[in-house]
């Protein structure tokens, strides 16, 4: 139930712009997210956008914040749901399923958020790490957690990019990976995170 770190504050108009950018990105793809196209959607001219954002990368950074926040929220929620189910569900499988679901639900936002270097100076501090902690909570230790995250990201991005051979049974591939990692999970897993475990 951990709460989202506070996102970078935006003026109301800037928030509208980010929302429009998100719709544009998701509906028409990353290449279509152009300054002029975004301005068009808002009924203004391209240079006016620079009254609200220093450059295009700043808009993208705001979108990445949204992506990270939503991903983190979905993963934390999935973990909590698994924990409180009766009987408690396997947390690794729960996190993996949630991760895939959110990636496929917003493919272009996912790609934007997870491809290429992150502009960390422009992101709310702590956000990136908070979004990733569910992997740690599910895996019980940091090395397995990173391996699990890498597997999940690889699966999602390769699926989004159409890299798997046609007709692949990806449900089964996910299950295979989940099984491999679950078998290595340390006995008992991890309770609610202690402060230093998060750091």
Residues that bind its own copies (CB under 8 A): 114-118, 129, 143-144, 146-147, 149-155, 157-158, 161-165, 168-170, 172-177, 179-181, 183-184
Shortest Cβ 46–its own copies spacing (Å): 22
Nearer to its own copies, 43 or 165 (CB): 165
C-alpha 96/C-alpha 78 separation (Å) is 9
Shortest Cβ 34–DNA spacing (Å): 3
Site string for DNA, 14-53 (x = CB under 7 A): -------------------xxxxx-x---xxxxxx-xxx-
| Residue 87 binding partner per list its own copies, DNA, none, with a CB distance cut-off of 5 to 8 Å that depends on partner kind | none
| Residue 11 binding partner per list its own copies, DNA, none, with a CB distance cut-off of 5 to 8 Å that depends on partner kind | DNA
Q: Does 57 bind DNA (CB under 7 A)?
A: yes
Nearer to DNA, 58 or 148 (CB): 58
Shortest Cβ 36–its own copies spacing (Å): 21
Cβ neighbors of 20 (< 8 A, separation 6 or more) are 38, 41, 42
Residues lying near DNA in the complex (CB under 7 A) are found at 11, 13, 33-37, 39, 43-48, 50-52, 54-57
């Amino acid at each position: 139930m951990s709460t989202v770190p506070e996102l970078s504050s935006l003026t109301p108009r800037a928030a509208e712009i980010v929302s429009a950018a998100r719709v544009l990105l998701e509906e028409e793809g990353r290449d279509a997210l152009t300054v002029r196209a975004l301005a068009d959607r808002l009924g203004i001219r391209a240079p006016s956008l620079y009254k609200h954002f220093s450059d295009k990368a700043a808009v993208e950074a705001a979108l990445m914040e949204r992506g990270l926040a939503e991903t983190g929220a979905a993963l934390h929620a999935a973990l909590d749901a698994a924990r409180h189910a009766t009987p408690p569900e396997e947390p690794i499988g729960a996190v993996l399923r949630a991760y895939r679901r959110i990636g496929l639900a917003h493919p272009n936002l996912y790609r934007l958020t997870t491809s290429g270097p992150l502009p960390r100076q422009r992101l709310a501090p702590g956000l990136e790490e908070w979004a990733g902690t569910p992997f740690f909570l599910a895996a019980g230790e940091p090395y397995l957690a990173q391996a699990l995250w890498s597997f999940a990201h690889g699966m999602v991005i390769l699926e989004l990019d159409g890299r798997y051979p046609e007709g692949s049974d990806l449900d089964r591939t996910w299950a295979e990976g989940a099984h491999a990692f679950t078998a290595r999970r340390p006995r008992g897993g991890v309770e609610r995170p202690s402060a230093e475990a998060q750091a």
